[in-house]
């Protein structure tokens, strides 16, 4: 009888250790997945910010030439010119 109890106890302990390891592995993989997704979002945001900055710089460079230039969004367009050019 005593051997059976020890065997059952050993199996229970082994099962608890195994389930704990599975839980920790799942927790780690979930956190790592979140971390990778978060890094991708940051890279995407940095790329978008760089694109916005480059677009503004291009508009600024075109505006100092004192010539009207069009900007487009879809089917909508507007001609822009720097205000300093109009007051000269």
Give me the residue spans of the domains in the chain: 2-86
pTM, 2 dp: 0.54
Task: Please determine, for residue 49, whether its predicted confidence score (pLDDT) is greater than 90.
Answer: yes
Q: Report the range out of 4-8, 28-32, 34-38, 62-66 with the highest average pLDDT.
A: 62-66
How many Å apart are CA 45 and CA 49, to the nearest integer? 6
Q: Strand, coil or helix: what is 70?
A: strand
pLDDT in tens, 3-28: 778 788 888 888 888 888 888 888 88
Strands (E), 32-81: 69-73, 76-80
pLDDT at 88: 54
Which residue stretches of the chain are H helix? 2-63, 83-86
């Amino acid at each position: 009888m005593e051997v059976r109890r020890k065997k059952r106890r050993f199996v229970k302990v082994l099962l608890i250790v195994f389930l704990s390891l599975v839980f920790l592995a799942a927790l780690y993989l979930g956190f790592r997945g979140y971390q990778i997704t978060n890094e991708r979002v940051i890279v995407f945001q940095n790329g978008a910010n760089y694109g916005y900055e480059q677009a503004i710089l291009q508009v600024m460079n075109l505006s100092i030439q004192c010539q009207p230039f069009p900007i487009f969004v879809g089917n909508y367009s507007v001609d822009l010119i720097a205000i300093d050019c109009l007051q000269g």
